[in-house]
Structure formats: C-alpha cells, structure tokens
Structure 1
C-alpha cells in the first residue's frame, strides 16, 4: 500500500507485485489528514483486502510540502508499527519520473520549493527510470543553464513544471511539459518504485522512517538569519 501526500493532491494505491489493484486521488482543498485514511479504506475495500493482507507500506518520503510529508509519514509509521510491517521510503521525484516510464526523453522532475528554487532530479525513462543526478534543491536559473547541455527531448513533470516551462522554453526549445494526466504525483507510481526497492531489500522499520526535506523550513531559515545578526 502506497501513500503520497507530498503536494496539494493526495493519493493512496494498493498494488500486488506490479499489478495496480486500486488507486484513489483527491485534489479538493481538504487537508491530507481528512482524506488519506478514508481513501486507504476505500482502496482496501475495492481490492477486497484488509490491512493484515498488506506486506509493506510505501510512502513518498520527500522532498515536498513539509506539512504534507509529515502527515503521510506519520500515518504510515502508525500503520506499519501497529501491524509489524516494514516501510519503504520512496523519493517523491523518482515517483514523478515513474509516471513517464517508456517516454524516450530526459525527464526533469521539478517541485516548486518557493524562493525561485525547485526540488529536482533528472532521469532517463525509456525503460525503468534511471537517475542522472541525486535529489537536490536548485534555483530555476541554475537548472536552466544545466539543461542547456542536454540535446534530446526534455519533459518537465511535477507541480513545478509549469513554472519552469514559463521561464525555460524561450532558451530551451527542446523542453516540453509532460501530459497533464501524468504531470502530478501518483500513489501508484510510488507503489511501483517501492516494489522495485522492496525486491532489492530496501526497507526500514517504522521507527526509522523519516522525511527527506532537502533544505530547512522557512521558519528555520529565518531563525538562522536572525542568529547571524
């Protein structure tokens, strides 16, 4: 069972091996704490499963919204600990790249990190997504300069895609937006990534599951700046 609460939309999916059994996604303005568990129960009901049938719980562990990540991870930790099941943390950016598996392009996963920055990673996705760099926080200007060295098709995916496209397309004619149906986080993609990781032995106990923020929160940055003065 996979959860993604890293951005405005929230999603839950149940997969068996590489078969998607059920998936729910909402983007209604309700808080993730309001929508996530009802979706999880609905997904189980549709798949005719119970929580005891789940072998592992996967979650988009970051980067992303600080509050959203905490909600999803807290829920997964609670379920996994109660049931004695392992957790599989998945990079939100790798989950986004999974949306575009089979596309012959350089996939540029971008999430709006505010302050003229994005959370970013680059992948090739002709087959299973393969990383070209680690997850990072980077300025849009710096990312634009880096992508000028890429000659093939570039697909932007994630909630920062439109923002980056608006600033990049004039100087990067090879850059495109991913199809709208594939542009945002999907819990099923997190589940597929988690399936590969689980098969490779990547899993943690509930107490070891932590979010990956990549940078300090705004409040922490402001406190650091205040302490420097």
Structure 2
C-alpha cells in the first residue's frame, strides 16, 4: 500500500461507532460516537470531524474501509450507506472487513499485555440476543493473528469448543453478558469496536485489497440471522 495513502475507516456495527483517518498505516484521527445508537445523526459529522482533525480533504482519501458485520442490522446499513456515498462522490473503492477481525484488533490495541503474550486463542463474541452469541476463533502468537474458526451462532455453553485444546480468552459483548455460562476465561471489560480498529483489521487481513477493489464494487453485509434481516417484501410478503 502507498505509504501516503489516506484511508477512511467507518464503524457502525454496534451501539457506538465513529470514523478514523489513517495516512499510510499511521492513525491521524479517531472520532468515536459517544451517544448510543445514534449513527444516523452522528456518523456523517464524525467523518467530517475526523477528516478535519487529520488535516486532509475528502478528495485526498484513497479508499474507505467499513465494518461489514455481523452486527446491528440498522447500524451496518447506516455505515455502509455513508461509506458508499462518500466513495461514490470521490470515485474511490469501499473495502469491507469483518466485525470479528476488528474486535481482535480492538482487544490487542487496548490490552498491552496481550501484545507480548505467547500463543493464545482469541474468541470474539457478540451478543446476538435470543440466548445466543455470534463468535469466531483466532490464534494469536504474539505477532500474527490467524483465523481458525469461521463466524458461527452458538449458545454460550458451546464457546469452549471453538478453542479446542489451546489456552483461550473470550471477549466482547457476548462473553461479557453471558460470562457466568462460559467455561473459558472472559476478559474483564466489555470490549467494543472503535473505528480505528476497523482500519487496523483491514491493514492486517486485506493489505492489498485497497487498490485491487474497483470503485463501485459492493460490500456484502453479514447479519446475525440473514433470513430475519430481510424485509417483508424480500421474504415474499406484502406491505
């Protein structure tokens, strides 16, 4: 990736969110949304403020990276709409990155002890309601993060199966809410994704995608329960 490329990162998959700006891989600005569930009102101002704080213009941005889920149905759509609108105006690509990858980056940037730890299975968990969590598994060896389990919807008691025989740590809203029902160690804090972690996850897992993706290419959002996320018309009903 060009060392001077300006990347705009957008997060809106959960109750909070915001925008971040990178120049190369250096974080220049991060503007979180503090008000819960207010993406519709506050995401565009957050993007504008992040660009201003980074002292770059919209036309300087080379690509937009957005959280593609799984996550909040409404939040994901608001984030993607903002990303696609910005990209359309400036004729640049939109790159999607998974929520689980972004959660791992958030944990690693917020917990300095993990950065120097040995091999550890990280299990990001999102509260999917209905007594279930959306989870995945990644192996962290101190420098490299490798996915070992795909995203899956499980009950909290099944999370231990994702780790296998490896030492593991569960974290995120799903682990925090159901910590009394999980057999694995659970991170003491409820780790939530901040916008910079969306960009960091893309740099780690999709470093060449920014300039291989054509402007106008669509990002496919991922929901907890895709069938339930469809509109009435899409499910064959009437309005």
Question: Alpha-carbon deviation of 1:208?
Answer: 1.4
Q: CA RMSD in A?
A: 2.7
Q: Hey, what's the Cα distance between the residues in 1 that align with 2:214 and 2:149?
A: 23
Q: Hey, what's the Cα distance between the residues in 2 that align with 1:4 and 1:210?
A: 15
Aligned twin of 2:164: 149
Aligned twin of 1:139: 155
Aligned length: 219
Report the secondary structure of 1:35's partner residue: helix
Aligned twin of 1:18: 25
Question: Alpha-carbon deviation of 1:148?
Answer: 6.9
2:88 to 63, 81, 93: 81
Report the secondary structure of 2:62's partner residue: coil
1:117 to 115, 132, 135: 132
Please list, as runs of the form range in 1=range in 2, the aligned pairs for 1:55-134 lying within 5 A after superposition. 55-101=62-108, 102=115, 103-104=117-118, 105-125=120-140, 126-134=142-150
Question: Alpha-carbon deviation of 1:33?
Answer: 1.1
Aligned twin of 1:28: 35
Aligned twin of 1:216: 226
Structure 2: tracts of 5 or more residues without a match? 1-7, 109-114
Report the secondary structure of 1:177's partner residue: coil
Q: Hey, what's the Cα distance between the residues in 2 that align with 1:167 and 1:175?
A: 11
8 A Cα contact 1:98 1:128, kept in partner: no
Q: Mark the CA change 1:29 to 1:210 in structure 2 (over 3 Å): closer, same or farther.
A: same
Q: Mark the CA change 1:219 to 1:28 in structure 2 (over 3 Å): closer, same or farther.
A: same
TM-score (norm: length of structure 2)? 0.81
Following TM superposition, where does structure 1 have runs of at least 4 consecutive aligned residues deviating by more than 6 angstroms? Answer: none
Q: Hey, what's the Cα distance between the residues in 2 that align with 1:82 and 1:178?
A: 42
TM-score (norm: length of structure 1)? 0.84
Q: Hey, what's the Cα distance between the residues in 1 that align with 2:53 and 2:171?
A: 29
Question: Alpha-carbon deviation of 1:197?
Answer: 4.6
Q: Mark the CA change 1:119 to 1:16 in structure 2 (over 3 Å): closer, same or farther.
A: same
Q: Hey, what's the Cα distance between the residues in 1 that align with 2:12 and 2:218?
A: 19
Aligned twin of 1:160: 174
Question: Alpha-carbon deviation of 1:206?
Answer: 3.3
Structure 1: tracts of 5 or more residues without a match? none
